[in-house]
Chain A
Amino acid sequence: MTENQAAANATADASIEMKETAGLSQGQLVLKRFLRHRGANISLAYLALLILFVFTAGGIHLGSRETPITIPGWWHLSITDMSEVAISNSDSGQLLVGAPTLDLNPFDGNGVHIGAHPFGQDAIGHDYFALVIRGAQQSIMVMLVVGLIGGLMGTVIGAVSGYFRGLTDSVLMRFTDLIITIPTVIIGSVIGAKFGNLGVFPLAIFLGLFAWTGLARLVRGEFLSLREREFVDAARVAGASAGRIIFKHILPNAMGVIIVSVTLLLSGAILLETALSYVGFGVQSPDVSLGTLISQYQDSFQASPWLFWWPGFFIISIALSVNFIGDGLRDAFDPRQKRKLGRKDLAMAKNVEKN
């Protein structure tokens, strides 16, 4: 980049910023910057569709194991249904047991079709589509519950600690240190081994109870600096209570940090849950999660690789899209964030200068 170009970019930058921020609220600005992040938009749409797909296909399962409340989904097979295992020959003549019937190739003469078992079957005839869908439901639910509980606790503890400072701060932060000291895997496996058999929901709640520490530290730091600002003094002089100042005045300003680290919490949570389930300390049979599916079928990789690919694909695509959304939000909330100027922007800047 030459000197002139750099200078042109700098002015273009400034004028674009001026033009862009004119008459917009903070929320609109953030939304606008978020919509500019292509990866984050695609990820958000993908994740929303995936969640919709997974929960409509598999139905919704509530209630305890003894008295289940089930709203059926559009997929006709459940995770306990067993049917005859389809045996076919692959193109290379290898015998395939329970091969996937999903066919997305429109050019092979058969057209695009789903077939009886789109993701295939396991060796004893379970429909793998139903299993993976249920596993994805459980993993998504754990992720959301951990994010919700961890996010709430982290925000409140960090906010109280940063706002009141002094003794409250010391006690709460030492408590946070204490929880941080216990490695997540230890917490997870102790909890998983003890409460995993209660079902997925209690497991998620317990994991959430230990997942707030990083967020609390960040929020505290943010509050420590925000509480010294003039608008907080103004609110205090006007007679606002501590609760009002924390939740109405400071918290909205700290929202960026919170939302970004909650997304990191979410992608960490799904990896933690699947890893715990994989080693047998998370979701316990007869419940399924994406982690238990992989651990159960990894040995049949040679004969039926699809039993391994599908759950892996779901874990990675969920975690990856959550991470991208987090990246987009980080950019959107960071006012210092500069982006590369495209040709369109430079043309726009020239127009701005002319007017």
Chain B
Amino acid sequence: MLAFIGRRIAISFLVLFGSSFIVYNMEAIAGDPLAGLAESSARNKEYLIARLTAQLQLDVPPPARYFLWLKGVLGVFVGNLDFGRTRQGGAVLDLIGAAVPVTLRLVTAATVLAIILGISIGVLSAIRQYSRLDYSMTFVSFLFFSLPVFWVAVLLKQYFAIGFNDFLADGQVTTPFMIAIPLALGLIVAGFIGGERKRFWISYAVSALGLFGLLNLLNLLNWFQSPGLGIVLVFLFSAGAGIVVAGLTMGFDHKTARNAALSVAALGAVLYVPFNMIPGHWLNLGLLALMGVVAVVVGVFTAGFWAKEDRGALRRIGGITAFITGLFLILDKLMQVWNPYVNSDAISGRPVPTISAANDLMDSHNYWWQLLDVLLHLLLPTLGIMLISFAGYVRYARSSLLEVMNMDYIRTARAKGLTERTVVVRHALRNAMIPLTTLIAFDLSGLIGGAFITEAIYGWKGMGTVFLESVSTQDLNLLMGVFFLTSFLAVMGNLLADIAYSALDPRIRMGK
């Protein structure tokens, strides 16, 4: 095992060396960083050219210059990493250091959501192979797969942002939408419920009517202008989520599991009032995260009290339910600050932004305002990235699960009388996830370099923007910095995927 990892790391470094050598020389030979200056009419042209030549060591031929660059990078082993300087003279490392968090903020949420949503829909699609749901999901995932990200971005800006902001002016759903939305959404709900034709139409009618009533109610309450959940809905939503979690992990007829989940949700409702009394200006991200951790731990222990057996599974249910309850509490809090936020001077009634990473909120120290602001800025790019990468996960999860469901041991599991839920969740899903880990590890490692176009469209100053700039200004050191970081992460991700794969699947032999 260790020998295998060691050899893989050694090979990875050779590969990195090779690819960086190729990219460096390709870029250095194909692009002339002095081209812009040579055409300029500046009086001190000669001086400027000479200075840039000296600064970027352009008098050294590219293959040799690569080794000068490499020497700086290898400085990491003596604690002195140096990616060189940009054309403007700033350190490449500083620029990249500033860009990485921006990109991470942009892509993390999108990727995590795409993974969760994609896998669950793919699994559902595989379980109901050749159903209405399966066919429509196949079509939808192919469609999303074929969408150019820049085209989607323009559409989202137009309809989602501008359209929604216009709608918020009076916050009343108009009659055409009042009819169209239930008709369309009802189709989706009924599709997920499934069943024979009669049951499908019944569930369609019920859900469409229900949605119609809901929209009317929200209109009456003017909910879209001043939304909120309140303690009752927070409890109901988190209790529902808890029951689903308990049902999926231990079965819907498992009373103890359900009670454990409900008790955690009830605890969340009890904490509703104290949570709302925390002043906004006290909070920050670290504190919120700490509260989240405490909530999960409390959830784990609360659910543990119920346990006579299966303590581990019950604790897991408690932890997950606590996490979801926390999310609902935060959502409610954000809805409470929605109205004042939207009507503040900085926003002036148009909350969904089409560009940049954050608004200048001036004097607001209220953490909820800042959080809402950040989330709203994330909304459009996240949707765009999610739509497209989600499609791949749907396809992959579906085919992976179908493959496993045809195995002999699944037939054995069914034959010995296990419920379908146990067969799917315990036996099939776990094995179907193994090939998916490779995809996930690979995708996560590609996160930093993954959103060039989205960043460019929404004007985020992340790695993608830095990279596109470096290409168009022929800034070799900057380009190499971005390239080296992304490819280093890709190689490491690949390695981790291999290790995870063989750790999860004992049939894979290490070393060969």
Contacts and interface: CB of A to CB of B under 8 A. Distances in A.
Interface in B1-52: 11, 14-16, 18-19, 22-23, 26-27, 30-31
Contacts of B16: 181
Interface string A308-322: 100010011001100
B150 A295 contact: yes
Given A174-B15, A278-B453, A312-B151, A181 B30 contact: no
Given A181-B491, A183-B449, A279 B146 contact: no
A190 B23 contact: yes
Interface in B43-89: none
Contact of B145 (A39, A189, A323): A323
A14 B402 CA distance: 20
B467 to A, nearest CB: 7
Interface in B450-487: 452-453, 456, 467-468, 471-472, 479, 482-483, 486-487
Interface stretch (A44-52, A108-116, A267-275, A343-351): A267-275
Contacts of A76: none
Given A174-B11, A185-B452, A316-B148, A281 B471 contact: yes
A190 B26 contact: yes
Contacts of A177: 11, 15
A183 B446 contact: yes
Interface in B415-469: 446, 449, 452-453, 456, 467-468
A118 B364 CA distance: 52
B154 A298 contact: yes
A294 to B, nearest CB: 6
A278 B22 contact: no
Contacts of A190: 23, 26-27, 30, 471, 479
A186 B148 contact: no
Nearest to B470: A189
A178 B146 contact: no
Contacts of A221: none
A327 interface: yes
A181 B468 CA distance: 18
Contacts, number: 114
Contacts of A182: 19, 22-23, 483, 487
Given A185-B449, A193-B31, A194-B31, A275 B487 contact: no
Interface in A62-117: none
B26 A178 contact: no
A178 B22 contact: yes
A324 interface: yes
A16 interface: no
Taking residues whose C-beta sits less than 8 angstroms from the other chain, chain B's interface range is 35 or more
Contacts of A302: 158
A17 B71 CA distance: 64
B23 A186 contact: yes
Which of B19, B26, B142 has the most chain A CB atoms closer than 10 A to its own CB? B142
A117 to B, nearest CB: 22
Contacts of B11: 174, 177
Taking residues whose C-beta sits less than 8 angstroms from the other chain, chain A's interface range is 35 or more
A340 interface: yes
Contact of B147 (A39, A174, A178, A316): A316
Contact of A320 (B146, B149, B158, B491): B146
B143 interface: yes
B490 interface: yes
B154 A308 contact: yes
Interface string A170-205: 000010011111110110011001110000000000
Nearest to B162: A302
Contacts of B409: none
Interface string B281-315: 00000000000000000000000000000000000
A280 interface: yes
Contacts of A194: 30-31
A178 B18 contact: yes
Interface string A281-318: 10000000001001100100110000010001001100
B275 interface: no
B156 to A, nearest CB: 12
Contacts of A279: 150, 452-453, 456, 468
A261 to B, nearest CB: 14
B158 A186 contact: no
A324 B150 contact: no
B177 interface: no
Which of B11, B150, B482 has the most chain A CB atoms closer than 10 A to its own CB? B150
B244 to A, nearest CB: 26
A267 B149 CA distance: 14
A267 B146 contact: yes
Interface string B474-510: 0000010011001100110000000000000000000
B252 interface: no
B414 to A, nearest CB: 11
A281 B19 CA distance: 21
A319 B158 contact: no
Given A178-B22, A185-B449, A320-B142, A278 B150 contact: yes
A42 to B, nearest CB: 12
A326 B173 CA distance: 42
A334 to B, nearest CB: 11
Contacts of B145: 267, 319, 323
20 contacts: A174-B14, A178-B18, A181-B19, A182-B23, A182-B487, A185-B452, A190-B27, A193-B472, A274-B148, A274-B150, A275-B148, A279-B453, A279-B456, A281-B468, A294-B151, A298-B154, A315-B146, A319-B145, A319-B148, A340-B130
Given A178-B19, A267-B146, A294-B148, 14 more contacts: A178-B18, A181-B19, A182-B23, A185-B452, A185-B467, A186-B482, A189-B471, A193-B31, A271-B146, A275-B453, A281-B468, A291-B150, A323-B146, A340-B129
Interface of A: 39, 174, 177-183, 185-186, 189-190, 193-195, 267, 271, 274-275, 278-281, 291, 294-295, 298, 301-302, 308, 312, 315-316, 319-320, 323-324, 327, 339-340
CB-based closest 4 A-B pairs: A319-B146, A194-B30, A340-B130, A320-B146
